[in-house]
């Protein structure tokens, strides 16, 4: 299951049974579930769910992995058929009415084609576009209750019912994002692969990607006829955190290849699948740390060198006229900022201000911890870390250290910046600007008008502030 802000939470049948045994909620269904034997947790739990109307009629498919025969998964073709037959297509496009859906899809593809002029959708006519649903493949490596890794693959629509911060009208020029509502209803699970099935045999992971890519290709080229109408699906991108992007694309240039010391025997390959940022022994220097200029050196290398030796199965997905390129894989601004650049900015900004406080380093952190917790109480936030410490900010030896945010949760970066903007609103223009930039993106629709993008939300402006 995909949770808030893309995080992954896995609830197994045995977990549900254990929870039913300790819950105080009175329910016939929960009492039945609590009596299911753990030795038959899956079949027993599914029987209870079906008896009490808590299951859906979606066919489970099976495939033979290199590491397991008869592995269960849910075909997106079957998901689409179910959504159409049960009049639930709004979970993919945001609206229930077919006529309104046609208008929204035509508007979306018209805007999309102007930005992506070489995309295969530009070869399709109006009749195709008004029945073609844009989707994204989402992958993430979550963890179960025993902290073991699980690879989750799912599909979700780009269009939806908006965002809690958005005021855009459905069907209007903005087009609503797919953020409102429970993600269990608008992210359609393909499979959950335990690490035991793909750690020693990565072919199992790529086997599932191959199945999904073939489905997307079929749904784009042939479509699916349900109740006399032909529906098409176009996957416009692959998204997830940086490890999933590099793993699913078989990229030899990824963030894990970044230089970790001043010099080494082997030249660094680069950190980005789209450009040569961080690549050493190139024709000219392309430092990946170059954020603070409008025209960084790496910008001129975008698309110049293929990032893989062996193609990913996902390259079967129809994308550009003449083929599919690595541009299919999308960077997640919020993932990259909150778990990367944003952590360094937040920790550095806080520590710079603390140097101005006439207190010892321990007293200074105690002082801001009290203010931070007060802010969280006022704004009903539940911080992952309730105490701001020098260890958390990477300055154990004093402020002469280079601050390095030590938290693992990306959402904590958001909270630190929100608090920091409140605490130093008259002196921390950069923090306020970053919060406005990222918060403003949530208030927009799928497409942002050029004027507002240039004046309020331009990403290069954010990077120049940081640089």
The CA-atom distances, in angstroms, between 38 and each of 20, 29, 49, 149, 380 are: 12, 16, 15, 22, 38
Predicted TM-score (pTM) of this structure: 0.80
Phi-psi region of 32 (alpha: psi -120 to 50; beta: other; left: phi over 0): alpha
Looking at residue 459, its pLDDT comes to 43
The CA-atom distances, in angstroms, between 291 and each of 154, 303, 410 are: 33, 19, 20
Domain regions of the chain by residue span = 1-55, 57-246, 333-466
Nearest to 258 by CA among 247, 268, 249: 268
Calpha distance 59→50 (Å, rounded): 14
Looking at residue 465, its pLDDT comes to 39
Tokens in use for 427?
Answer: 């002196």
Looking at residue 437, its pLDDT comes to 63
Looking at residue 427, its pLDDT comes to 45
Calpha distance 155→365 (Å, rounded): 43
Q: Which neighbouring-strand residues pair with 162?
A: 178
Q: Which neighbouring-strand residues pair with 407?
A: none
The CA-atom distances, in angstroms, between 56 and each of 110, 139, 193, 299 are: 35, 23, 21, 48
Q: Are 222 and 132 in contact (CB under 8 A)?
A: no
Tokens in use for 349?
Answer: 């900004």
Burial, 4: exposed, middle or buried (Cβ in 10 Å; 0-12, 13-18, 19+)? exposed
Looking at residue 455, its pLDDT comes to 52
Calpha distance 70→64 (Å, rounded): 5
The CA-atom distances, in angstroms, between 446 and each of 134, 191, 307, 414 are: 12, 27, 29, 22
Calpha distance 97→179 (Å, rounded): 19
Looking at residue 165, its pLDDT comes to 74
Q: Going by C-beta distance under 8 Å and a sequence separation of 6 or more, which residues neighbour residue 265?
A: none
Instruction: Give the angle 435-440-443 at the CA atoms, nearest 5°.
Output: 140
Report the relative pairing of strands 132-143 and 149-157 from DSSP bridges: antiparallel
Instruction: Tell me the pLDDT of the chain (467 aa) as tens digits.
Output: 333 333 333 456 777 888 888 888 788 888 888 888 888 887 888 888 888 877 788 888 999 999 999 999 999 999 999 999 999 999 999 999 999 999 999 999 999 999 999 999 999 999 999 999 999 999 988 776 667 888 999 999 999 988 877 655 444 456 888 888 878 788 999 999 999 999 999 999 999 999 999 999 999 999 999 999 999 999 999 999 888 999 999 999 988 777 666 667 788 889 999 999 989 888 899 988 887 677 889 999 998 999 999 999 999 999 998 888 999 999 888 888 888 888 888 888 888 777 766 778 888 889 889 989 999 999 999 888 999 988 898 888 777 778 888 898 888 999 998 888 888 765 445 455 556 666 666 677 777 777 666 554 444 344 443 43
């Amino acid at each position: 299951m995909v949770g808030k802000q893309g995080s992954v939470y896995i609830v197994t049948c045995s977990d549900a049974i254990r929870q039913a045994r300790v819950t105080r909620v009175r329910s016939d269904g929960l009492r039945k579930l609590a009596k299911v034997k753990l030795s038959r947790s899956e079949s027993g739990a599914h029987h209870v769910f079906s008896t009490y109307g808590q299951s859906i009629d979606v066919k489970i498919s099976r495939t033979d992995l290199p590491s397991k025969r008869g592995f269960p998964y849910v075909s997106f073709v079957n998901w689409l058929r179910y959504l159409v037959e049960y009049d639930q297509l709004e979970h993919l496009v945001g609206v229930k009415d077919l006529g309104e859906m046609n208008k929204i899809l035509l508007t979306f593809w018209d805007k999309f084609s102007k930005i992506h002029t070489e995309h295969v959708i530009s070869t399709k006519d109006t009749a195709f576009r008004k029945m073609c649903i844009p989707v994204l493949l989402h992958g993430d490596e979550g963890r179960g209750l025993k902290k073991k890794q699980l690879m989750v693959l799912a599909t979700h629509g780009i269009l939806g019912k908006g965002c809690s911060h958005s005021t855009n009208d459905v069907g209007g020029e903005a087009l609503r994002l797919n953020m409102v509502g429970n993600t269990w209803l608008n992210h359609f699970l393909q499979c959950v692969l335990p690490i035991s099935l793909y750690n020693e045999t990565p072919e199992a992971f790529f086997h599932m990607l191959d199945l999904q890519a073939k489905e997307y290709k079929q749904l784009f080229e042939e479509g699916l006829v349900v109740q006399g109408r032909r529906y098409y699906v176009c996957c416009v991108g692959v998204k997830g955190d940086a490890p999933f992007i590099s793993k699913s694309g078989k990229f030899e240039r990824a963030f894990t290849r970044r230089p970790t010391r001043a010099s080494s025997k082997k030249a660094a390959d680069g950190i980005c699948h789209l450009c040569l940022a961080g690549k050493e022994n190139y024709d000219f220097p392309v430092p990946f740390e170059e954020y603070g200029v409008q025209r960084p050196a790496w910008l001129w290398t975008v698309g110049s060198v293929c990032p893989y030796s062996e193609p990913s199965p996902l390259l079967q997905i129809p994308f550009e006229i003449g083929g599919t390129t690595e541009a299919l894989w999308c960077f997640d601004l919020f993932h990259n900022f909150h778990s990367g650049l944003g952590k360094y900015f937040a920790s550095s900004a806080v520590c710079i201000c603390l140097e101005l406080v006439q207190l010892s380093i321990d007293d200074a952190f105690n002082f801001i911890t009290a203010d931070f917790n007060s802010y969280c109480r006022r704004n009903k936030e539940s911080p992952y870390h309730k105490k701001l410490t020098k260890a958390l900010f990477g300055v154990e030896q004093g402020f002469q250290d280079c601050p390095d945010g030590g938290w693992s949760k990306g959402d904590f970066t958001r909270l630190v910046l929100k608090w920091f903007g409140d605490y130093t609103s008259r002196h921390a223009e950069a923090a306020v600007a970053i919060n406005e930039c990222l918060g403003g993106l949530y208030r927009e629709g799928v497409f942002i008008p050029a004027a507002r993008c240039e004046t309020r939300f331009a990403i290069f402006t954010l990077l120049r502030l940081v640089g």
